[in-house]
């Protein structure tokens, strides 16, 4: 038995999310079906994190245990050949120690949220970014983002369906950068609550529109009340960027 670590890229638009679902296609199912076609084995693929329907992945880390003798390169090539036409690709595959776990060994997860701030409709990026037509003040958004960095009770920014034992999380990074008509919001933490990133982005967007102030974001955080959430951003613009592990460069 060999444990393989996979780095996976995917377009989330056709999927109900990463995790296998009874009511629709998932990234996990696409990978597991491809691996079964390659090896004849029904092997579970474990990921660094779960993503909602429509959320994308640039470098999701996952692992799978395979009994068949196969090199990492051959496994990667075979999965990529079998998984077509699903918009999923294995970018890297390496053999790892038996106790390496994509979820439990992970020490940091990073997301990026993409906003296109223009009135013209999206063409190439439809479903890959959130279009906000009204002008956004990214300086005010960055100010508001700093109110959320650190260790807090994020109940306000937590989905009512979140299954985490505690709403307390330590947010290592929440930054806002504008490049022309595009805004990139980056978030990093050891772990996130269900909908936390999208909820934070939605409130930052309200600040950018002038409907909220940075102090309103701080007040929503302190309230620890989901009903105080201003806006939950759509899934379109959210990307899982990377997962970090001990010993990574």
d(CA 106, CA 7): 13
d(CA 60, CA 88): 11
What residues pair up with 176 in beta bridges, in sequence order? 185
Lowest model confidence (mean pLDDT) among 22-26, 73-77, 128-132, 147-151? 22-26
Q: Are 77 and 8 contained in the same domain?
A: yes
Q: What is the predicted pLDDT for the residue at 31? A: 97
What burial class does residue 166 get, using C-beta atoms within 10 Å of its C-beta: 0-12 exposed, 13-18 middle, 19+ buried? exposed
Total domains, the chain:
2
Domain boundary among 38, 61, 96: 96
Q: Are 89 and 187 contained in the same domain?
A: no
85 neighbors 65 (Cβ within 8 angstroms):
no
Segment 182-205, tens digit of pLDDT: 999 999 999 999 999 999 999 999
Cα angle 151-52-167, degrees, rounded to a multiple of 5: 25
Q: Are 60 and 141 contained in the same domain?
A: no
Segment 53-99, tens digit of pLDDT: 999 999 999 999 999 999 999 999 999 999 999 999 999 999 999 99
Among the options 52, 92, 172, 225, which is catalytic? 52
HSE of 229, CA atoms in CB hemisphere, 13 A: 21
48 neighbors 106 (Cβ within 8 angstroms):
yes
Percent of the chain with pLDDT over 90: 92
In which domain, by residue range, is 50 found? 2-96
Catalytic site includes residue 172: no
d(CA 112, CA 133): 20
Q: Are 42 and 114 contained in the same domain?
A: no
Choose among 211, 40, 121, 24: nearest CA to 32. 40
Q: Are 15 and 135 contained in the same domain?
A: no
Residue 23 pLDDT greater than 90, yes or no: no
Q: What is the arithmetic mean of pLDDT over 162-173?
A: 93
Q: What is the predicted pLDDT for the residue at 163? A: 82
Q: Are 239 and 179 contained in the same domain?
A: yes
d(CA 188, CA 242): 9
Q: Are 46 and 144 contained in the same domain?
A: no
Measured between its terminal Cα atoms, the distance across the chain in Å is 27
Taking every pair of C-alpha atoms in the chain, what is the biggest distance, in angstroms? 59
Could you give the C-alpha distances from 76 to 64, 80, 81, 104, 169, in angstroms and in order? Answer: 12, 6, 9, 23, 35
Q: What is the predicted pLDDT for the residue at 248? A: 78
Q: What is the predicted pLDDT for the residue at 91? A: 98
Q: Are 221 and 118 contained in the same domain?
A: yes
Domain boundary among 49, 66, 96: 96
SS3 92: strand
Q: How do beta strands 108-116 and 182-189 pair?
A: antiparallel
CB atoms within 10 A of CB 135: 12
pLDDT range class, residue 20, cuts 50, 70, 90: confident
Q: Are 52 and 168 contained in the same domain?
A: no
Is the preceding omega at residue 31 within 30 degrees of 0, hence cis? no
Domain boundary among 44, 65, 96: 96
129 assigned to some structural domain: yes
Q: What is the arithmetic mean of pLDDT over 30-36?
A: 97
Q: What is the arithmetic mean of pLDDT over 152-181?
A: 94
Residue 249 pLDDT greater than 80, yes or no: no
202 neighbors 136 (Cβ within 8 angstroms):
no
Q: What is the predicted pLDDT for the residue at 161? A: 83
Q: Are 236 and 140 contained in the same domain?
A: yes
Q: What is the predicted pLDDT for the residue at 247? A: 79
Residue 6 pLDDT greater than 90, yes or no: yes
* DSSP count for the chain of H helices, then E strands: 5, 10
């Amino acid at each position: 038995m060999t444990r393989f670590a996979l780095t996976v890229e995917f377009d989330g638009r056709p999927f109900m999310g990463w995790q296998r679902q009874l009511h629709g296609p998932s990234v996990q199912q696409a990978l597991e079906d491809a691996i079964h076609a390659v090896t004849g084995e029904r092997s579970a693929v474990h990921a660094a994190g779960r993503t909602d329907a429509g959320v994308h992945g640039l470098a999701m880390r996952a692992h799978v245990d395979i009994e068949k003798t196969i090199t990492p390169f051959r496994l990667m090539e075979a999965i990529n050949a079998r998984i077509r036409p699903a918009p999923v690709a294995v970018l890297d595959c390496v053999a790892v120690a038996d106790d390496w776990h994509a979820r439990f060994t992970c020490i940091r997860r990073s997301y990026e949220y993409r906003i296109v701030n223009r009135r013209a409709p999206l063409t190439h990026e439809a479903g890959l970014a959130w279009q906000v037509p009204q002008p956004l003040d990214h300086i005010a958004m960055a100010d508001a983002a700093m109110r959320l960095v650190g260790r807090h009770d994020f109940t306000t920014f937590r989905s009512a369906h979140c299954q985490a034992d505690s709403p307390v999380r330590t947010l290592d990074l929440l930054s806002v950068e504008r490049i022309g008509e595009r805004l990139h919001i980056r978030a990093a933490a050891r772990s996130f609550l269900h909908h936390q990133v999208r909820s934070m982005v939605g409130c930052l967007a309200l600040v950018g529109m002038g409907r909220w102030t940075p102090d309103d974001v701080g007040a929503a955080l302190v309230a620890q009340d989901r009903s105080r959430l201003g806006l939950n951003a759509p899934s379109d613009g959210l990307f899982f960027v990377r997962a970090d592990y001990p010993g990574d460069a």
